[in-house]
Amino acid sequence: MQNSAIVLAGGISSRIGEDKGLVELAGKPLVKHVLDRINSLVEEKIVVVKTKRQAEKYERVLGSNVKLAIDKVDLTSPLVGAIAGFENAGGKYSILLSCDAPFVSKEILQLLLELCVNKNAAIPRWPNCNIEPLQAVFCTKPTLDAANKSICAGNLRLQGMVDRLKNVRYVSTLVLEQLSPGLNTFFNVNTTLDLKRAGSILKIH
């Protein structure tokens, strides 16, 4: 298998008041917006959740075509979810995504997949040097190793995982904007106001 997709859906959604991945945008859960956009890019889709109860909810919504993985460690960190995803991924390369980015760009992810060949990662980077590890492509096995080393060292940030990877290709968001004008690909739904804005963006497009 060449490509897997890992969608993190186990985070606490305190600002939106409910399970964020299952919040509906235009009649469809946010997580399904993400999964539908990557259908043609991967052979395997994995959604990572925090608890068995949460997994049961997602299974009812997503059906059997999506693999569910549950965090092994009771820590609130996207790195914990990433580890569960990489452990379950069968693809040589894995796209790492969050469940709250409904406008993720298929074209950008396709480019990142191509740029990750013979690299350990292809990661978008802003002009201020901030990176977007939750919309990036990773070589699965070395990244799992880097993630485990980071968490063993007490660093629960995705940056800690990235810092332990060698042979990383960073891709300027200035380049990516040519494929996704306005870079709505990085728009995250964190609040009810964001959800309204997302609905407005959908109407425009």
pLDDT band at 12 (very low <50, low <70, confident <90, very high): low
What is the pLDDT averaged over residues 25-46?
A: 95
Tokens of 8: 């993190």
pLDDT at 94 over 80: yes
As a CATH number, domain 3-204 is 3.90.550.10
The dihedral over CA atoms of 146, 34, 41, 151, expressed in degrees to the nearest 10, equals: 10
Residue-wise DSSP of 103-140: T--HHHHHHHHHHTTTSSEEEEE-TTS-B-TTEEEEEH
- Cα separation, 66 vs 69, whole angstroms: 10
Q: How confident is the model at residue 10 (pLDDT cuts 50, 70, 90)?
A: confident
Give the pLDDT score at 203: 77
Q: What are the structural domain ranges in the chain?
A: 3-204
Query: What is the rounded CA–CA span in Å between residue 181 and residue 147?
Result: 32
How far does Cα 77 stand from its chain's mean position?
13
DSSP of 171-185: EEHHHHTTTSGGGGG
CA neighbor of 98 nearest in space, from 204, 185, 40, 198: 185
Cβ(201)–Cβ(189) under 8 Å? no
Of all residues in the chain, the percent with pLDDT exceeding 70 is 96
Confidence at 131, pLDDT banded by 50, 70, 90: very high
Residue 70 corresponds to which amino acid? I
> How long, in residues, is the chain?
205
- Decide: 57 and 19 in contact? Cβ < 8 Å: yes
Q: 121-125 and 135-139 as β-strands: parallel, antiparallel, unpaired? A: antiparallel
| Helical (H) or strand (E) element with 59 | helix 52-62
